[in-house]
């Protein structure tokens, strides 16, 4: 993580916090408190360096779930939100599809995305793949995304599996890497 610049060359970095909404946690999620605590540490560090923090919120009108204006749509209360933070609303798994995210990142001169949030196997995964296609440099924070147990797989195994997949994706113009929150903060 570096200090914010305005060179116009995509040299800035941004923290994406995906779908950490109250309604998403009605289902128990792996290491909920730990993930929230680590995301708070990262967002504090990004703000201290004048780097953008962007909350992605799922508008689930198609699913009658996470409806704007309801408590379920709101970001979990334990996450610190600043007036300087940005919010992008999405209606599908990927945060780039028919949203203003790409335009916002371009206006902020962002070339590197640090990705956190929920759910590992759905919205986080879809956003990572979309960001790769958009040629962003991607740093997945390996201990700052979560999901629930599914089918015969534990949430922990799903997280490990996706961390493995992401660390082995073929890069486009940008690079993709995985780091723990401590590696980013140091």
Burial class (CB in 10 A: 0-12, 13-18, 19+), 77: exposed
DSSP secondary structure of 18-71: E--BGGGGGS--TTHHHHHHHHHHHHHHHHHTT--EEEEEE--TTTT-S-TTSG
Tens-digit pLDDT profile for residues 33-57: 999 999 999 999 999 999 999 999 9
- Tell me the CB-side half-sphere exposure of residue 156, using CA atoms within 13 A: 1
Asked whether residue 162 carries a pLDDT value surpassing 80, the answer given is: yes
Average pLDDT of the chain is: 95
pLDDT value, residue 102: 98
Q: Are 105 and 14 in contact (CB under 8 A)?
A: yes
Residue 6 binned pLDDT confidence (cut-offs 50, 70, 90): very low
* Residues whose CB is less than 8 angstroms from the CB of residue 160 and which lie 6 or more positions away in sequence, other chains included: none
Residue ranges per structural domain of the chain: 12-185
* Residues whose CB is less than 8 angstroms from the CB of residue 91 and which lie 6 or more positions away in sequence, other chains included: 58, 59, 60, 61, 62, 97, 98
Q: Residue 177 carries which DSSP code?
A: E
How would CATH label the architecture of 12-185? 3-Layer(aba) Sandwich (3.40)
pLDDT value, residue 160: 98
Interval 4-31 mean pLDDT: 87
pLDDT value, residue 3: 61
Q: Are 119 and 146 in contact (CB under 8 A)?
A: yes
Interval 127-148 mean pLDDT: 97
- From 47, 45, 41, 73, select the one nearest 59 (Cα to Cα): 73
Interval 90-102 mean pLDDT: 98
pLDDT value, residue 9: 72
| C-alpha to C-alpha distance for 173 and 171, rounded to whole angstroms | 7
Q: Are 76 and 108 in contact (CB under 8 A)?
A: no
Tens-digit pLDDT profile for residues 51-83: 999 999 999 999 999 999 999 999 999 999 999
Q: Whole-model pTM?
A: 0.96
* β-bridge partners, 179: 141
């Amino acid at each position: 993580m570096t200090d914010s610049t305005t060179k116009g060359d995509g040299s800035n970095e941004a923290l994406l916090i995906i779908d950490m909404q109250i309604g998403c946690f009605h289902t128990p999620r792996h290491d909920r408190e730990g993930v929230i605590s680590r995301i708070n540490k990262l967002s504090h560090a990004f703000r201290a360096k004048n780097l953008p923090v962007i909350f992605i919120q799922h508008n689930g009108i198609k699913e009658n779930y996470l409806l704007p204006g309801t408590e379920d749509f709101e970001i979990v209360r334990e996450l610190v939100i600043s007036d300087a933070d940005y919010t992008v609303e999405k209606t599908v798994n990927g945060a780039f599809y028919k949203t203003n995210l790409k335009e916002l990142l371009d206006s902020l001169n962002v070339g590197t995305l640090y990705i956190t949030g929920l759910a590992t196997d759905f919205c986080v995964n879809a956003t990572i793949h979309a960001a790769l296609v958009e040629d962003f440099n991607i740093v997945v924070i390996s201990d700052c995304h979560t999901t629930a147990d599914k089918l015969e797989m534990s949430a922990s195994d799903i997280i490990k599996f996706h961390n493995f997949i992401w660390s082995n994706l073929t890069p486009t113009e940008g690079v993709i890497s995985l780091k723990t929150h401590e590696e980013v903060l140091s």
